[in-house]
Structure 1
Amino acid sequence: MGKFPTANKSFGQHFLNSPTVIKKITSPLPEGCDAIIEVGPGPAVLTPHLAEYKKPIFVIEMDERFVEILAPVVGAENIFRQDALEFDWKNFLETKKFKSIWLVSNLPYNVSVPLTLAFLRIPEITQMTLMYQKEVAQKILPNDLRNAMGSLHVLMQTQFDLSHVVYAPPGAFIPPPKVDSQVLNFKRKALPLIPLKDIDVFEVYLRLMFANRRKQLGGILRKEWGAEKTISSMQEAGLSMEIRAEALTLNQVLKLYEISSRYSLKP
């Protein structure tokens, strides 16, 4: 790879420098994709590979140093110089009319979760290939689900089919971070397990359930719902009051949510 500029720590920059990892991230093109958006492209490491697909491609980049590098690849008019968390998706989609966007990013680790939760809420983003700090990636897609259930995993599973793409050690970046990284792929479900219009309420429910995921779930819910409704809800879901949230299955989490919604039990 070519020489990189000095990384800006305030943007959490670590420039990918591994041809193997780059190839894994940028191929293949998802079926039915009608546009590509790259968040935080930096010095155009992934961008030329994505541009080879000859699809409309747009980039969201805060660092003005990279505009001259990116412009010949995607066109100056397709560069959005702003914070991805503040990107106006509504205006962009009303203007461009895309229906199936592939979003690709070596995410800044300090805002990777807020960005992921923002992308989840855009139904036109039908596929994502995203780089995370490995510790965060394991919260989204644990290698071992035994006693590993958490709110981020459940939330993403309701909207996407998740899969591992590749691990990236510190040496795959310039400068090398102090942690390992992992790339995940997200393919939006044709039929989400929770309607997207209800995702805000569901997220609040998950925060209640998993705030103390190693404590007995019955005790946590009793403080919010009262003893009688908690006991009846847990019994209907076939759950012991002593079970810990981390030991639940996805189906059990969804079942208890359905029961709580029917009883109008608000977190």
Structure 2
Amino acid sequence: MTDTLPPGLAALPPLREVIARHGLSAKKAFGQNFLFDANLLDKIARVPGVLAGERVYEVGPGPGGLTRALLRTGARVTAVEMDSRCLPALAELAEAAEGRLSVIEGDAMRIDEPAVLGGPAHIVANLPYNVGTALLIRWLTADPWTPWWRSLSLMFQKEVAERIVAAPNTDAYGRLAVLAQWRARPRIALSLPPRAFIPPPKVDSAVVHIVPAEAPADVPVSAVERVTAAAFGQRRKMLRASLKALPRGLEALAASGIDGARRAETLSIDEFVTLARCWTPLS
């Protein structure tokens, strides 16, 4: 917690009062579930270890609960919100933050983040469930690599979080695990039960912390995506069957030295990268 909290932030009314005054309610169309517990919000905000003055990019702040916690760390926050109902509450928060919060109305899938932020940033977000995976894939496939973002601290349905960190030979292991663990180092930082939210979702949630890693320069991310899409497209079949869906996929399989009788879920991250490397010159 920073010792330089602007007086306006310290004097803000409770989040519940702000929501009631502005007539806000979580909207299913935006995948919203509001989190009120300040202690939990502070725990989430502390996950990436943001230093005072560092940039944070937040997607879908809603009425600003997590935004308040991020500001309490001393971060400079840029928040993108497409629900216009929340903008007056966020404007009040921006005024209280004395220049440390800027709010953009728009669709996060259409934002040119490096241009908007003007430098590296941590991404911290209670992501709307309906766009969370699409945004994660967008950030993991950034080009060039290493990316513009310093870390991702993202809330997902727990089932999705487990898919991101899954190990080979498990049911949760798939395309998302390969992409995330090839280009980054993900871990589940904390879990939250449905009762923590208003309205409570039907499933548990979890915050995943992801730090970018060096990726092999000779393997395009598009190749890894194509190979894993074919391999996991029929995950119960042997690779020699599933890779028929990939043009010249069987040639790449032969060149890789990987046993075609294996199934996709048994391959390590390195083996998928080898397969993608062999397929690239054939594509």
TM-score, normalised relative to structure 1: 0.85
Tell me the amino acid that sits aligned with residue 134 of structure 1: K
Query: 1:60 and 1:211, CA in 2 relative to 1: closer, same or farther beyond 3 A?
Result: same
Structure 1 stretches of 4+ moved >4 Å: 225-228
- The verdict on how the C-alpha distance between 1:31 and 1:228 changes in structure 2, with shifts beyond 3 A counting, is same
> Hey, what does 1:200 align to over in structure 2?
222
Quote the residue 2:185 is aligned against: 161
Structure 1: 5+ residue stretches without partners: none
Q: CA RMSD in A?
A: 2.5
Work out whether residues 169 and 181 of structure 1, in 8 Å CA contact, stay in contact via their aligned partners in 2.
yes
Which one-letter code corresponds to 1:176 in the other structure?
Answer: P
Q: Spell out the pairing of 1:8-23 with structure 2 (5 A cutoff).
A: 8-23=27-42
Determine the C-alpha separation between the residues in 1 that align with 2:249 and 2:182: 29
How far apart are 1:223 and its partner, in Å? 4.8
State the distance in 2 between where 1:188 and 1:32 align: 21
Name 1:27's counterpart in structure 2: 46
Q: Deviations along 1:194-234, whole A, 9 cap, x unmatched?
A: 67x9223321222112111221111122454569725622x
- Does the CA contact (< 8 Å) of 1:41 and 1:105 recur in 2? yes
Deviates more, 1:2-11 or 1:72-81: 72-81
Q: Please state whether the residue corresponding to 1:140 is helix, strand or coil.
A: helix
Q: Give the secondary-structure state (helix, strand or coil) at the position aligned to 2:69.
A: helix
Contact kept in structure 2, 1:105 and 1:129, CA below 8 Å: yes
The counterpart of 2:56, out of the listed 16, 36, 40, is: 36
Instruction: Tell me if the contact between 2:243 and 2:250 (Cα under 8 Å) persists in the aligned partners.
Output: no
**Mapping of residues 1-267 of structure 1, within 5 Å:** 2-3=15-16, 4=19, 5-28=24-47, 29-30=49-50, 34-75=54-95, 78-93=102-117, 96=118, 98=119, 100-122=120-142, 123-142=147-166, 145-148=168-171, 149-189=173-213, 191-193=214-216, 198-225=220-247, 229=251, 232-233=254-255, 236-237=256-257, 239-261=258-280, 264-266=281-283
Deviations 1:115-164 (A, max 9, x none): 1112224411120100001111111112x542343111111112211111
**TM-score, normalisation: structure 2:** 0.80
User: What is the CA-CA distance between 1:33 and the residue it aligns to?
Assistant: 7.8
- Point out where structure 2 has 5 or more consecutive residues left out of the alignment: 1-13
2 CA distance for matches of 1:160 and 1:136? Answer: 16
Question: Structure 1's 19 and 65: CA in aligned 2 closer, same or farther, altered over 3 A?
Answer: same
CA shift for structure 1 position 183: 0.9
SS in 2 for 1:166: strand
C-alpha separation in 1, matches of 2:245 and 2:31: 39
Q: Does the 8 Å CA contact 1:147/1:248 hold for their aligned counterparts?
A: no
Aligned mates of 2:111, 2:222 — CA distance in 1 = 19
Percent identity between matched residues is 30
The structural deviation recorded for 1:186 is: 0.7
SS in 1 for 2:224: helix
- What secondary structure sits across from 1:184 in the alignment? strand
Task: Provide the C-alpha distance between the structure 2 equivalents of 1:38 and 1:242, rounded to a whole number of angstroms.
Answer: 45
Separation (CA, whole Å) in 1 of partners of 2:112 and 2:26: 27
Could you say what secondary structure the match of 1:177 adopts? coil
Q: Distance in 2 between matches of 1:187 and 1:74?
A: 28
Partner Cα distance (2:73, 2:250) in 1: 58
- Whether the 8 Å CA contact 1:38–1:47 is kept in 2: the answer is yes
